[in-house]
Amino acid sequence: MLIETQRITRHPHPDGVEACVRDTNINVWGLIEWRQLGQSQDEILASLPHLEVEDLEAAWDYYESNRDEIEGFIRRNAEA
């Protein structure tokens, strides 16, 4: 299922369409990967101070609804 909100936008990418936070190049899969590697929400926000809590919540929600898409990007990044 495709979920797009005001906080998550989709951009063309060589591997398909990439979900990003708002109008930034910060992709959802990268945020999810940081979270899977043990970064807390506070640590992510400290690293990316222009993001808001609501941006991360939207990214987490997007991941839950589009898990296969996001996991595919994470796998391709690990193989690169």
Helix, strand, coil content of the chain in percent (nearest 5): 50, 15, 30
Going along the chain from its start, the domains and CATH numbers come out as 8-79 (1.10.10.10)
Task: Give the pLDDT confidence score for residue 1 in this predicted structure.
Answer: 46
CA atoms of 20 and 8, how far apart (whole Å): 6
* pTM, entire model: 0.86
Q: What is the pLDDT of residues 13-71, one digit of tens each?
A: 776 778 999 888 899 999 999 999 999 999 999 999 999 999 999 999 999 999 999 99
